[in-house]
Amino acid sequence: MFSTIGYIHLFFAIVSMTTGLIVVFNTKGTSFHKSVGYTYVVNMLLLNISSFFITNFNGFSIFHFFAIVSLVTILAGMYPVLKKTKNWLHKHYYFMAWSVVGLYCAFWSEVGTRFVKNMQDFWWAVAIATFLTAFIGARIINKNAKRLISK
């Protein structure tokens, strides 16, 4: 992290985490939503790209795999909006909301690599934090999806 690419990656992560939460917890479809949402998408793309210039564990790692998953999620979330596919709103919402949840799950992995020194403790700490984040995220996503469906 203490390199130029590490600081650039950190910057994109902070902007993505902030804009992701703003988009999730604000009114959908407004010009504010769209502008903050596009800021999120651009920063997530740059975050994912920058991750491939950071090497952990001597090359391609599980973190790079999840960067690819994140990239696919972002693209899957934007495709329905740009192409106005059938049920585009629901597809867009689910993929983009899970993208934000995935970002926060990745945050716990990053925290773990910085602060948990024992690898056995690292995997447990990251697994528990990731599970709780995904569980809470799923609850929020499902609650908000019900509101979108009722409109």
Q: How far, in Å, CA of 60 to CA of 64, rounded?
A: 6
Coil, strand or helix at 58 = coil
The pLDDT tens digits for 20-69 are: 999 988 888 899 999 999 999 999 999 999 988 887 667 777 778 889 99
For residues 9-20, average pLDDT: 95
Q: How far, in Å, CA of 43 to CA of 125, rounded?
A: 27
For residues 72-91, average pLDDT: 93
Output the pLDDT for position 150. 60
User: Which domain range does residue 116 map to?
Assistant: 4-150
Taking CB atoms within 8 Å and a gap of at least 24, the contacts of 142-145 are 144/24, 144/93, 144/97, 145/90, 145/93, 145/94
Q: How far, in Å, CA of 9 to CA of 53, rounded?
A: 9
Number of domains making up the chain: 1
Phi, psi of 59 (to 5 degrees): 130, -150
Contact (CB, 8 A) for 44 and 16: yes
Residue bearing the bigger pLDDT, 87 or 41: 41
Asked if pLDDT for residue 103 goes beyond 60, the answer is: yes
Q: What is the mean pLDDT of the chain?
A: 88
Q: Where are the beta strands (DSSP E) in 1-151?
A: none
Output the pLDDT for position 114. 72
Q: How far, in Å, CA of 92 to CA of 134, rounded?
A: 18
For residue 54, the Cα-to-chain-centroid distance in whole angstroms is 18
The pLDDT tens digits for 110-130 are: 787 777 777 777 788 888 999
